[in-house]
Amino acid sequence: MFLILSRLADVQKRFLPLMFSLLFGLHPIATESVCWLSGRTDLFSGFFILLSTYLLLRYRERNGLFFLLGSLVCIAVSYLAKEVALGYLVGWLLLLLLNEAESISSDADYSKMLRAAAATGFVAAVLLVVSYSLWVTSALLALFLVWLCLIDRRMIVRCVLLVVAVAFGATVMYLTRKMVFASGSGQISATITLIQADSNYTIQTFLGAIAFYLKKFIFPFPLNFAIREISPYYNIAGVATAPFILLFMLRGTLATTFFITGICLILPALPLSLGAIAWTSYAERYVYIASAFFIISLGCYFVTSSRLHQVVIPVCCFIVLVFAASTVHRSYIWSSNLSLFEDTVKKAPNFRFIRNNYLIALRDAGRYKEAEKQYRLAQKLPSVQYVSDLDLNYANLLAITGRYSEADRLYAKVFEKSGESNLYLDFLRQMHATALGKERVFWGNRLLEISERTIAMTKDYAKYYQMGKVALDIGERSAARKYFVAGCSFIPSNDPQSHFACRLADSLQ
């Protein structure tokens, strides 16, 4: 970012690129991408997207084919890290085709358009509140767009370019995920179904998400790891913001083009706001790469403007200091699962998934009473369908604290409801291995019972050999021979356990 802004700044203003680069690096919105392992894709993709932008600017300066090819290669590499690069492709094309000599040159004309955009946004927001239908509002925005196209025919080209690029990006993303991530293709299909079912709700949600992420960039607080839903007022703010986004597409300066590029980088995250793909509908890291271009947009305006230069430096320094303090504090929260989930539970108290993870962190820290409290609180939260993770983790907590009978009953409940038996069998094996006398016989019989029911559901015949050994251990020779015979018959012959089962079955005859 420093190199990008330095190429646009005068020699006397080289301090500003440094300040804006620090603003990006210390922005609290970057904490999630930097501190979370899953955020490494944001860092890799963001690096190559910024490198691509730098090479594209060099191409615009020298018209060297090497820089253009390098920029395209960086886009391809960034896409391999994260699909958000498809959103950048739209901004890349706008930057490539940008001709500032053809931009709106008259400040008076631009001020007039800004007032028109503000009036359109206000009326559109009022119409949305009154009718709760986006169709009337969309008609008004369409009229504003037509007005912009009549003023400047380039707007038509940019709109067509945007639609084609978004359609291309969405198609490539869907096909790539369907081929590579087979387990997630159903979630994408469910999202497409939601979009088709209620386009009015979908567009409102998408506009609301854009407004939310713009707010997160300007004022990132409160910082939250689990953002499941946002205020419906953001839908109104999104509608009010739409005319300005359309106007910036027409403006045709580096500053506005970089801003539109940031908006395009948010677009791939919009389908996630419908809640059918990711575990959380919104996330701070979704705006991480976009924030770089928002800051570059601001930097372009100030480093190329002679006005407000003396005001920008102290204001920027103050914001950097505030953001730095917040980022340090947030990084400390991210330093352990315990502090992270403790903070998240406070900000998203009705999220069962987060309470379950907080339970795990408390259990691992040896704070068993607090972990049990989280289980009780999570149990009271509504759930559309039964999810076994919470009960399984609490059953493990019961086993750790020596309440084996309660753990057995809870594991059995999970098994009856969901058919999940792996953790239950591990628990029973451990109990059988460590118990003595009658308790060893009891846990051995429980292990055999659950193993038989598991085989009936999963056809995992390899368990027969282990069951025969357990039956021998508790003195059930006839049952042991039955299991060994079954293992000899059903376990594949190339499995060593099949050979051992046959030999033991013969020896017990």
pLDDT at 309 exceeding the cut of 80: no
pLDDT-derived band at 100, boundaries 50, 70, 90: low
Mean pLDDT score across all residues of the chain:
88
Mean pLDDT of 122-147: 86
Start-end of H helices in 365-476: 368-379, 389-400, 404-418, 422-434, 437-458, 463-473
DSSP 265: H
Interval 362-371: pLDDT, tens: 999 999 999 9
pLDDT at 361 exceeding the cut of 70: yes
DSSP 460: -
- pLDDT for 164: 76
Give the separation between CA 31 and CA 329, rounded to whole angstroms.
10
For residue 49, how far is the Cα from the chain centroid?
Answer: 19
* DSSP H or E run through 278: none
For residue 162, how far is the Cα from the chain centroid?
Answer: 24
pLDDT-derived band at 162, boundaries 50, 70, 90: confident
Give the separation between CA 83 and CA 173, rounded to whole angstroms.
7
Task: Name the more confident of 375 and 98.
Answer: 375
pLDDT-derived band at 212, boundaries 50, 70, 90: very high
- Do the beta carbons of residue 446 and residue 408 sit within 8 Å? yes
pLDDT at 102 exceeding the cut of 60: no
For residue 31, how far is the Cα from the chain centroid?
Answer: 14
pLDDT at 12 exceeding the cut of 60: no
> Which two structure tokens, joined as six digits, stand for 90?
């739209």
Q: Determine how many CB atoms are found less than 10 A away from the CB of residue 486.
A: 20
pLDDT above 90 coverage of the chain, percent: 58
Mean pLDDT of 279-301: 92
pLDDT at 166 exceeding the cut of 80: no
pLDDT at 458 exceeding the cut of 80: yes
Which sequence spans correspond to the domains of the chain?
Answer: 2-335, 338-458, 461-509
- pLDDT for 304: 64
pLDDT at 251 exceeding the cut of 90: no
- Do the beta carbons of residue 209 and residue 234 sit within 8 Å? yes
User: Which distant-in-sequence residues (6+ apart) come within 8 Å of 81 by Cβ?
Assistant: 41, 44, 45, 48
Mean pLDDT of 437-458: 94
Worst-scoring range by mean pLDDT, 129-143, 334-348, 441-455? 129-143
User: Which distant-in-sequence residues (6+ apart) come within 8 Å of 347 by Cβ?
Assistant: 222, 224, 225, 226
- pLDDT for 15: 80
Worst-scoring range by mean pLDDT, 313-317, 357-361, 457-461? 313-317
pLDDT at 130 exceeding the cut of 70: yes
pLDDT at 355 exceeding the cut of 70: yes
Give the separation between CA 6 and CA 14, rounded to whole angstroms.
6
DSSP 282: B
Coil, strand or helix at 227: strand
Give the separation between CA 11 and CA 336, rounded to whole angstroms.
44
- Do the beta carbons of residue 484 and residue 501 sit within 8 Å? yes
pLDDT-derived band at 374, boundaries 50, 70, 90: very high
> Which two structure tokens, joined as six digits, stand for 385?
């369908």
Mean pLDDT of 132-148: 84
Angle at 87 between CA 84 and CA 93, to 5 degrees: 140
* CATH code, residues 338-458: 1.25.40.10
